[in-house]
Amino acid sequence: MRITCPFCGERELGEFTYLGDAKPVRPAADAGEDVVYDYVYLRDNIAGVMSENWYHGGGCRAWLKVTRNTLTHEISAVEAAAGAGARQASK
Amino acid sequence: MAEFSWDIRSPLDRALVAGPYGARGDAGVALTEIRNFDLVQVMARRGKAAELAKAAKDRFSVAAPEMPKAVGTADATLIWSGPDQFFVLSKGGKHSIGALAPPFAGSASLSDQSHARVLISVSGAKARAMLAKLSSIDLHADAFAIGAAAATSMDHTSVTLWRGNDRDGLAVFNVLVFATFAESLWHTMLDSAAEYGVAINHSEELA
Ligand SMILES: [Zn+2]
């Protein structure tokens, strides 16, 4: 599997670390216990297209949001995570 | 109490033995550790990338790299090290962290890496063949031209790699590696280069 980092270009899997589902959004400070429990512990187990966080630790050390099909490993999109840098090399 | 004097030494001081190594005959690979350089990492503060670009242009009279490239100036090399950040590699204190603090105040955070990294220059007719064993980057001249740079890994170790100017018509690759990983990567490079014959040296001169 290869991931095309928006800053570095195409790189082998070994340079990246998988974090997990990119969908969960931190609840507001006054959100109820059930909402916080869901955010912290519950994850969908998707067989198909999923939005994931990956870290390019063996390269530019930027966080990336990768859209990947968990059945085929096909990657349809890679973008910089929020705050990961202003300029992207492959654009 | 025993007297102790702090003595600045290269992290490769023990591992590096100048002279020939590996296969006999003409050395296919030259491994040279470059010592005594100033290295400062410049990272844009949040939302200040455009201000950093301007400050860098004012300071160095060239645009700092905004993609994986190394840019030479009269007395420094600016090497991309990630989004909105680059290294300043120089000698003699002119671009030390103290000298760079005023021009980049407000736009960037600086970090002195002068003694935190080891700089290894890899050259010779078989340099590319040797590095191909360690790197997943395509180092063919068409794909990795003079001035190309990469933040990548070699032997599971993070490195900053860039191609300098040719020497004697042959490519020169520069590798910056964390000081604590330098000895390990050095031995791996020696193993990879042994079949081609290696000329080992250290130098005070930036390529
Ligand atoms: Zn990257």
pLDDT for A86 equals 60
Whole-angstrom Cα distance, residue B144 to residue A53? Answer: 29
Establish, for the pair of chains A and B, how many residue pairs have beta carbons separated by less than 8 Å.
57
Mean pLDDT confidence for B31-44: 97
A15 interfacial to chain B (CB closer than 8 Å): yes
pLDDT band, very low/low/confident/very high, at B4 (cuts 50, 70, 90)? confident
Residues 6+ apart with CB under 8 A from A37: none
pLDDT value at residue A39 = 94
Asked whether residue B24 carries a pLDDT value surpassing 70, the answer given is yes
Q: What band does B22 get if pLDDT is binned at 50, 70 and 90? A: very high
For the stretch B75-118, pLDDT in tens is 999 999 999 999 999 999 999 999 999 999 999 999 999 999 99
3-state DSSP helix/strand/coil % of chain A, to nearest 5? 15, 35, 50
Contacts of B16 (CB under 8 A, 6+ apart): B10, B33, B186, B200, B202
Q: Using the mean position of ligand 1's atoms as its centre, give its distance from the Cα of residue B104 in Å.
A: 25
Interchain contact, B66 vs A87, CB within 8 Å: yes
Residues, beta carbon < 5 Å, ion ligand 1: A 5, 7-8, 56, 59-60
Strand order of the β-sheet with A49-55 is A17-21, A49-55, A63-69, A75-80
A78-84 — which CB contacts under 8 Å span 24+ positions? A78/A3, A78/A4, A78/A5, A78/A6, A79/A6, A80/A6, A80/A7, A80/B83, A81/A22, A81/A53, A83/B46, A84/A7, A84/B83
The pLDDT of residue B206 is above 90? no
All residue ranges of chain A with pLDDT < 70 are 83-91
Name the pLDDT band for B49 (thresholds 50, 70, 90): very high
How far apart are the CA of B26 and the nearest CA of chain A, in angstroms? 34
Contact by Cβ (8 Å): B55, B113: no
R_g of chain A, CA atoms, integer Å = 15
Q: Tell me the mean pLDDT in the region B51-70.
A: 97
Q: For residue B88, which amino acid is it?
A: V
Query: What is the CA(A20)–ligand 1 centre distance, in A?
Result: 18
Gyration radius from chain B CA atoms: 18
- Chain A partners of B81 at a C-beta cutoff of 8 Å? 60
Task: Output the six-digit token pair for A60.
Answer: 């530019």
What tokens appear for B124 in the block? 């010779």
B182-195: pLDDT as tens digits = 999 999 999 999 99
Q: pTM higher than 0.80, yes or no?
A: yes
Where helices occur in B14-164 by DSSP H, the ranges are 49-60, 97-104, 127-132
Q: What share of chain B is helix, strand, coil (3-state, %, to 5)?
A: 20, 35, 45
For B89, the enclosing helix (H) or strand (E) is: strand B85-90
Contact B150 A8 (CB under 8 A): yes
Integer Cα distance of B188 and B169 in angstroms: 26
Q: CB A8 to CB B152 under 8 A?
A: yes
Average the pLDDT over B43-63 and give the result.
Answer: 96
- Is residue A60 within 8 Å of residue B151, measured between CB atoms? yes
Q: Each residue of B159-170: pLDDT tens digit?
A: 999 999 999 999
3-state DSSP assignment of residue B52: helix
**A84 → chain B, closest CA residue:** B83
ipTM value: 0.89
Rounded to an integer, the average pLDDT of B52-64 is 97
Q: What is the pLDDT of residues B110-161, one digit of tens each?
A: 999 999 999 999 999 999 999 999 999 999 999 999 999 999 999 999 999 9
Token reading at B135: 């790197």
Q: Note the pLDDT of residue B8.
A: 77
Chain A environment of B50 (Cβ under 8 Å): 86
Residues whose CB is less than 8 angstroms from the CB of residue A27 and which lie 6 or more positions away in sequence, other chains included: A35, A36, A39
